[in-house]
Amino acid sequence: QIKLKHYVLGKLEESDFQISSNEITLELNDNNDVLVKNLYLSCDPYMRHRMRGETNSYIPPYQEGQVLDGYGVSKVVLSNNSSFKVGDCVSSWTRWEEYSVIPRGQRLKVIDPALAPLSYHAGALGMAGFTAYVGFFEVLKPKKGETLFVSAASGAVGQLVGQLARDAGLYVVGSAGSQEKIDLLTNKLGYNAAFNYKEEPDLVAAVAKYCPQGVDKYFENVGGKTLDAVLDNMNNFGRVAVCGLISQYDQGGQDGVYNLKRIINKRVTLQGFLQSDYLHLEPKFMDHMSKLIKADKLVYFEDFAEGLDNAPNAFCRMMIGSKIGKQVITVAKD
Q: Which residues bind ligand NDP (CB under 6 A)?
A: 44-46, 128, 131, 152, 155-158, 176-178, 181, 221-222, 243-244, 246-247, 273-275, 318, 321, 326
When the beta carbons of 100 and 151 are compared against ligand NDP, the nearer one is 151
Least distance in angstroms from the C-beta of 33 to ligand NDP? 28
**Secondary structure of residue 122 in the 3-state scheme:** helix
Least distance in angstroms from the C-beta of 84 to ligand NDP? 26
When the beta carbons of 71 and 99 are compared against ligand NDP, the nearer one is 71
Least distance in angstroms from the C-beta of 224 to ligand NDP? 6
CA dist., res. 332 & res. 308, Å (int): 9
Least distance in angstroms from the C-beta of 88 to ligand NDP? 26
CA dist., res. 180 & res. 176, Å (int): 9
CA dist., res. 330 & res. 146, Å (int): 38
When the beta carbons of 273 and 304 are compared against ligand NDP, the nearer one is 273
When the beta carbons of 79 and 163 are compared against ligand NDP, the nearer one is 163
Least distance in angstroms from the C-beta of 96 to ligand NDP? 16
Q: Tabulate helix, strand, coil % of the chain (nearest 5).
A: 30, 25, 45
When the beta carbons of 105 and 162 are compared against ligand NDP, the nearer one is 162
- Phi and psi based region of residue 18 (left: phi greater than 0; alpha: psi -120 to 50; beta: remaining): beta
When the beta carbons of 105 and 177 are compared against ligand NDP, the nearer one is 177
Least distance in angstroms from the C-beta of 36 to ligand NDP? 23
Question: Positive or negative CA dihedral for 243, 245, 250, 251?
Answer: negative
When the beta carbons of 4 and 150 are compared against ligand NDP, the nearer one is 150
Burial state string for 45-61 with b = 16 or more CB within 10 A and e = fewer than 16: bbbbbbbbeeeeeeeeb
Least distance in angstroms from the C-beta of 141 to ligand NDP? 17
User: CA torsion angle for 279, 283, 288, 289 (degrees, to 10)?
Assistant: 80
Least distance in angstroms from the C-beta of 208 to ligand NDP? 19
Rounded to whole angstroms, what are the CA distances from 185 to 25, 34, 218, 290, 320?
46, 40, 16, 22, 18
CA dist., res. 146 & res. 168, Å (int): 10
For residue 96, give the amino acid letter: W
When the beta carbons of 16 and 138 are compared against ligand NDP, the nearer one is 138
CA dist., res. 16 & res. 14, Å (int): 5
Beta carbons of 116 and 148 less than 8 angstroms apart: no
Pairing of strands 89-95, 109-110: antiparallel
Q: What kind and span of H or E run contains 306?
A: strand 302-306
